[in-house]
Amino acid sequence: MGVLISAPLAAGLLFAAASPSLGADQRPSLASSRMGVAAAGTVGRQVVVPAMRGQVVSARTGLPIAGASVFGVWLSEQSSVTLHIAETKSAGDGTFILPKWVSDCGKRASLDRSGVILFRRDYRVESVPLARLVGQREVPTIPLSLFVGPPVERAIELSELLQGLVLIVISAAEPRLPEIVMAIEAEQQTLPEDVRRGRMGRPEFEWMVNEAQRARRQANQGTK
C-alpha cells in the first residue's frame, strides 16, 4: 500500500501543483491573498477564515461540471495542525462554495497548504491552494481533465488520493466518513479486481480512521 506521510505533507503535496486554468489575470498575489484573510477579522483569539469558492469546468469544452466532490482542507500556518475540513458538491452550473468559519484557537490557515481537492468520476484528480480561491472579484474556474490511461494507473491515482485523505481526516479528528470517500469507492468498484488488489479502498480507509480514534480515546483516558 506504500508508505504513508504526515497529514500536513499529504495536503501540501495535493495542493502543490498549479491549476492550468487559472490565468495570470485570475491569480491574486500571495500578499493580496493574505490581506484578504486578514480583512476577514480577528476577535480575541477567534479568527474568521474566508470562504472558498470556484467553478468546476471541463478542460476540453469549458462547460460546467456538476456533481464534482469538493473537499476543503484548512491547515494552520503556525504548526502542523488541521484546523478545519468541509465538503460539498458542484452545482448544475459547476459552482461551489465552502462557507467561511471561525477558528477559535487563534490560528490562521496557511494559504499555500490549505485548499480544495476536487474529484469527479472519470476525471483526473485536481487540487487548488487557498491562495488562488480567495481575494478575487470573479469566481475562479477550475478545469478537470478526463482520465486517459490504463485502469491500473487510475487505481493507483485513487489509492494515493485516499491515502492523503485518510491522514487529513485523522488529523482533523473527524468522526464522519467523508462523502468524497464513497464517491471514490464507487469508481474503484468499476475497475478490474486485479488492479484494485492491495490498494487502499474504503474498508482500509475506515479501519485506519477507527484505529486512530481508538488510540486517541485510550490516550485521553490515560491522562485522566
Residue 192 has pLDDT above 80, yes or no: yes
- Find cell 504526515 and name the residue: 6
CA 188 to CA 219: how far, in whole Å?
Answer: 35
Confidence of residue 160 (pLDDT cuts 50, 70, 90): very high
Residue 7 has pLDDT above 80, yes or no: no
Look at strands 69-75 and 115-119 and give their pairing: antiparallel
CA 166 to CA 181: how far, in whole Å?
Answer: 9
Residue 36 has pLDDT above 50, yes or no: no
Residue 37 has pLDDT above 80, yes or no: no
Grid cell at residue 38: 486578514
Judge contact between 146 and 123, C-beta under 8 A: yes
Grid cell at residue 168: 487529513
Residue pLDDT, tens place only, 72-81: 998 887 666 7
- Beta-carbon contacts of residue 156 (< 8 Å; ≥ 6 apart): 199
CA 135 to CA 27: how far, in whole Å?
Answer: 9
Neighbours of 195 (CB within 10 A): 17
Residue 103 has pLDDT above 80, yes or no: no
Please give the angle made by the CA atoms of 55, 97 and 140, to the nearest 5 degrees: 35
- Find cell 478490474 and name the residue: 192
pTM: predicted TM-score of the whole model, two decimal places: 0.79
Q: Say how far residue 97 (Cα) sits from the centre of its chain.
A: 13
Mean pLDDT value across the chain: 80
Judge contact between 172 and 84, C-beta under 8 A: yes
CA 189 to CA 202: how far, in whole Å?
Answer: 10
CA 221 to CA 178: how far, in whole Å?
Answer: 27
CA 13 to CA 163: how far, in whole Å?
Answer: 12
